[in-house]
C-alpha cells in the first residue's frame, strides 16, 4: 500500500513538473522551457531556497550576484515577497552596473533595490552594490574587485565562488556587461573591470569577468521573448561560439538556461 502511495506521489510530482516546463536535452547544461514567466520565476525561487539552505548549512552564508535589465524584474518582485527565505544570511552582489548615478533609471542597483531589496528584511551590510560615485569606471571596478577579495577572503589564484549568479543575454550575445569584441571577454585575471561602450549613447559599465562567473556553483540564464530566440539558439547549440554568453561554462558548477516558449522556440529537440 505504502509503495503504491509513493508511486502515486512520484507520478503526480512528475506530472506537476511536466506542466511547469519542458526539458531540452543537453550534455552540460540544463535547458528548461517554461510556459510562463511566473512558472520560470517559481522555479528560480525554489532553486534559490534549496541553494541558499545548502550554502548556509555549509558555510554560514549564501552569496548571489544579480543582473539588471528588464527580464528579471518579474522574478525580483516575486522574490521580494519570499520573507521566509534566510535573508539575514544572504549577501547580494551585482553582476554588472552602468556607470550612472544611483538616481538614474538606468542604474541596475537602483532597479534591484526598487523591485527586491527595498522590500526585504535584509541587513544593509549584506548588500554589495558597485559604487558609481568614483571619478571614472576603472576606479569603480578596482573598488568592487577589492570588495570581492575582502568578502570572500581570497587572494592570488584562488577565485571567489558565488553560490548563485543570475544572468541575462542581450540580442548581441552579451551577458552581464561582457560585450562582444571587447577586452572584457578576454580578461583572465581580474574579477571585475570597466567596459567602455563603443556606442556613445550607451553609458560605460563595470562588470564581473568570465573567470569569476565560471567559478560559480550555480549559474542561471533567464531569457524571454521571441527577439532573443536566434541568439539563444546560437549560444546553446553552436559549438565553440565566441559570444560572451556562450563562454559562460562553469568549471564545476551547474548551468541553467531558463527560457520562455518564445525564447526557446528555435531550439532543436524542443
Binding site for ligand 6PG (CB under 6 A): 67-71, 95-96, 108, 168-170, 174-177
Shortest approach of ligand 6PG to residue 132 CB, angstroms?
Answer: 12
Shortest approach of ligand 6PG to residue 245 CB, angstroms?
Answer: 9
DSSP state of 245: G
Shortest approach of ligand 6PG to residue 225 CB, angstroms?
Answer: 7
100: how many CB neighbours lie within 10 A of its CB? 16
Q: Tell me whether residue 96 or residue 145 sits nearer to ligand 6PG (CB atom).
A: 96
**Residue with cell string 560559480:** 216
> CA-CA distance, 138 to 134, in Å (whole number)?
9
Q: Tell me whether residue 81 or residue 227 sits nearer to ligand 6PG (CB atom).
A: 227
Q: Tell me whether residue 112 or residue 267 sits nearer to ligand 6PG (CB atom).
A: 112
Shortest approach of ligand 6PG to residue 84 CB, angstroms?
Answer: 27
Q: For residue 96, give every residue at least 6 positions away whose Cβ sits within 8 Å of its Cβ, in sequence order, or none.
A: 67, 68, 108, 130, 176, 177, 205, 206, 207, 208
94 Ramachandran zone, left/alpha/beta (phi>0; psi -120 to 50): beta
Q: Tell me whether residue 70 or residue 269 sits nearer to ligand 6PG (CB atom).
A: 70
263: how many CB neighbours lie within 10 A of its CB? 28
Q: Tell me whether residue 27 or residue 232 sits nearer to ligand 6PG (CB atom).
A: 232
Shortest approach of ligand 6PG to residue 101 CB, angstroms?
Answer: 15
Closest-by-Cβ residue to ligand 6PG is: 168
> CA-CA distance, 85 to 53, in Å (whole number)?
9
CA distances from 117 to 57, 113, 171, 179, 209 (A): 23, 5, 28, 27, 24
> CA-CA distance, 220 to 44, in Å (whole number)?
8
Q: Tell me whether residue 132 or residue 175 sits nearer to ligand 6PG (CB atom).
A: 175
Shortest approach of ligand 6PG to residue 159 CB, angstroms?
Answer: 20
β-strands 127-128, 192-195 pairing: unpaired
Shortest approach of ligand 6PG to residue 8 CB, angstroms?
Answer: 40
Q: Tell me whether residue 39 or residue 56 sits nearer to ligand 6PG (CB atom).
A: 39
Amino acid at each position: 500500500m505504502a509503495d503504491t502511495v509513493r508511486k502515486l506521489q512520484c507520478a503526480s510530482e512528475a506530472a506537476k513538473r511536466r506542466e511547469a516546463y519542458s526539458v531540452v536535452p543537453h550534455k552540460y547544461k540544463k535547458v528548461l522551457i517554461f510556459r510562463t514567466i511566473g512558472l520560470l520565476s517559481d522555479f528560480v525561487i525554489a532553486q534559490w531556497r534549496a541553494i541558499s539552505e545548502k550554502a548556509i548549512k555549509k558555510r554560514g552564508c549564501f552569496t548571489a550576484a544579480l543582473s539588471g535589465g528588464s527580464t528579471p524584474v518579474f522574478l525580483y518582485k516575486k522574490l521580494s515577497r519570499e520573507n521566509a527565505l534566510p535573508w539575514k544570511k544572504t549577501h547580494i552582489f551585482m553582476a554588472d552596473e552602468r556607470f550612472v548615478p544611483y538616481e538614474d533609471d538606468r542604474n541596475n542597483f537602483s532597479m534591484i533595490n526598487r523591485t527586491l531589496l527595498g522590500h526585504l528584511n535584509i541587513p544593509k551590510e549584506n548588500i554589495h552594490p558597485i559604487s558609481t560615485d568614483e571619478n571614472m569606471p576603472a576606479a569603480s571596478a578596482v573598488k568592487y574587485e577589492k570588495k570581492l577579495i575582502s568578502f570572500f577572503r581570497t587572494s592570488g589564484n584562488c577565485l571567489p565562488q558565488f553560490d548563485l549568479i543570475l544572468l541575462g543575454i542581450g540580442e548581441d550575445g552579451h551577458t552581464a556587461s561582457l560585450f562582444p569584441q571587447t577586452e572584457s571577454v578576454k580578461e583572465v585575471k581580474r574579477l571585475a573591470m570597466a567596459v567602455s561602450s563603443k556606442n556613445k549613447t550607451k553609458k560605460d559599465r563595470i562588470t564581473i569577468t568570465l573567470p569569476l562567473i565560471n567559478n560559480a556553483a550555480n549559474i542561471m540564464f533567464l531569457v524571454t521573448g521571441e527577439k532573443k530566440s536566434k541568439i539563444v539558439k546560437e549560444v546553446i547549440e553552436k559549438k565553440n561560439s565566441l559570444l560572451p554568453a556562450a563562454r559562460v561554462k562553469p568549471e564545476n558548477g551547474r548551468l541553467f538556461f531558463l527560457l520562455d516558449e518564445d525564447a526557446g522556440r528555435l531550439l532543436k529537440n524542443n
